[in-house]
Amino acid sequence: MFAVYASEGNLENPLASLVVGERPEPIVPEGWVRVKVSHASLNRHDIFTLMGVTAQAVPIAFPMILGNDGAGTLDDGSEVIIYPVMGSPDWRGDETLDPDWNIFSERVPGTFADYVAVPRRNAISRPAGISALDASVLGTAWLTAYRMLFTKSGLKPGQTMLVQGGSGGVATALIQLGCAAGIEVWATSRTREGRELAERLGAHRTFANGEKLPRRVEAVILLASVGPGCVNGWDRLLAAPGTGQLCALVAWRLTPWIARARLARTARRRGRPLRPDEHANWQVWGHPGRGHRPLWRTFLTEQRALLRELGELEHAIASVQAPVLLLSDPRDTLVPLDTARRLARALPDARLQLIDGAGHHLPRRAPDAVADAIVAFLAAAEAQAARDETRSLTFGGRRRVKSAVVLADPLALAGSADAYRGCG
């Protein structure tokens, strides 16, 4: 059958792995159905697949057909939308927390083909009022936007939402959903064309990157964040010319083997396979997929940028006037607790909350505790904002934005892509 697929992972030149050709028709397991695809949509996830990047515990099995979303017909002619999220058949509750969570083109072939096999529950009847073209873009981007806005944000009609990068898939969905829900929508974009697109979709105001907003952010949340005292000898070694590349060269050869050996020993000791949320650091290093050399070069570039820019960031800490919630684990081995404490002392209005036992990957290993802490913090910030707004209106002042900015160490979130893809 006709298909568009990735022949291998290629971090440096993803499009070099793109193949338009023939692939075998899908095998349809029991409980699954075959969909004849009429429409499919492109997501940034497809670029990740071409790069060989995945948050799954095992590498992508190339060649892999691309595509997360689509629409088409079953063998009996029924018109369906393909729901992209799959997991354990017996999982109950929030499916984004299912350790077996995956979407098309991660473990099973995707939708960029004449036919795709999907679990029966993932073939949803297409309502008459939605065209197949529109249905094919509803999956990944619009579900992510819906969850961000209506499940996680707590925004209410009349409040303000800032959408950064207002021309992307999730961003354009957020703009339209927010406007439909009666939320005041602001959007940013690097280009005039991007800002014009956001305005056509309904954004009330648009801003260029770096442009000062008319109202200030009300709250900031830092998860396992870098800060004063976070740099150690290993960071300086990896950032140094020559020695950094030498360490990377050794790591290319040894780290995946050591990590897989440790994971296998741990699994044997426990008598069962490890879940993706267990030993997250070792899982990432044990299964880097192909193209790990560019990954290490990117890591070294980030290390050098950290050392180069950390001083400037530390000087800017005192200028953050919004209330700040700091979440940290005392046993975090990557960013020490002392960094969080120093951040809390340096920030004008900060509260440090410890989550014990999660390590560096807070969102992945303690999602409920993180979510509860953020909800409680934002509720308190909202109550304070309401009191301030009452006083402001009384004396003719200006109201503030009800919003939250989440800043986090990229490494802390890298291992939690699956659990938090739907949360933004």
Number of folded domains that form the chain: 3
Which strand ranges, in their side-by-side order, compose the sheet holding 115-119?
115-119, 32-41, 69-74, 79-82, 123-125
Q: What is the CATH number of the domain that holds 181?
A: 3.40.50.720
DSSP state of 405: E
Q: Same structural domain for residues 309 and 194? A: no
Per-residue pLDDT, 134: 94
> Which of 208, 238, 262 represents a domain boundary (last residue)?
208
Query: Do 246 and 354 have their domain in common?
Result: yes
Question: For residue 70, what are its two tokens?
Answer: 């689509």
What are 3-47's pLDDT values in tens digits? 999 999 987 789 999 999 999 999 999 999 999 999 999 998 999
- 40 lies in the same domain as 87: yes
Residue 215 domain flag: no
Is residue 358 assigned to a domain? yes
Same domain assignment for residues 99 and 227: no
- The gap from C-alpha 66 to its chain's centroid, in whole angstroms, comes to 19
- What's the pLDDT tens digit per position in 386-424? 777 666 555 554 444 444 433 333 333 233 333 333 333
Q: Give the Cα separation of 81 and 85 in Å (integer).
A: 12
Q: Which domain covers residue 336, as residue numbers? A: 220-423
In a domain, 289, yes or no: yes
- Which CB contacts under 8 angstroms, 24+ apart, belong to 156-159? 156/183, 157/181, 157/182, 157/183, 158/182, 158/183, 158/184, 159/183, 159/184, 159/402
The mean per-residue pLDDT over the stretch 160-175 comes to 90
Between residues 298 and 135, the one the model is more confident about? 135
Q: Residues 227, 191: one domain?
A: no
Q: Where are the alpha helices (DSSP H) in 93-241?
A: 132-135, 143-146, 169-180, 192-200, 233-239
State how far the Cα of 37 lies from the Cα of 81, in Å rounded to an integer. 10
Q: Is residue 260 part of a domain?
A: yes
**67 CA to centre of own chain:** 18
In a domain? residue 214: no
For residues 320-325, give the mean pLDDT: 85
Task: Give CA–CA dist 104/54, Å, rounded.
Answer: 12
90 and 148 co-located in one domain? no
Same domain, 381 and 298: yes
> Are 171 and 34 in the same domain?
no
Entry pTM: 0.61
Q: Coil, strand or helix: which one is 139?
A: helix
Tell me if 84 is assigned to some domain: yes
End residue of a domain, out of 136, 166, 193: 136
Question: How far is it, in rounded angstroms, from Cα 143 to Cα 178?
Answer: 13
Residue 213 in any domain: the answer is no
In a domain, 323, yes or no: yes
**Closest alpha carbon to 332 in 374, 273, 373, 280:** 280
pLDDT of residue 232: 74
Of 112, 136, 160, the position where a domain reaches its end is 136
Q: Where does the pLDDT of residue 108 fall: very low under 50, low under 70, confident under 90, or very high at 90 and above?
A: very high
Q: Quick one: which of 361, 372, 368, 379 has its CA closest to 323?
A: 379
Q: Predicted confidence band at 222 (pLDDT cuts at 50, 70, 90)?
A: low
Mean pLDDT of the chain: 81
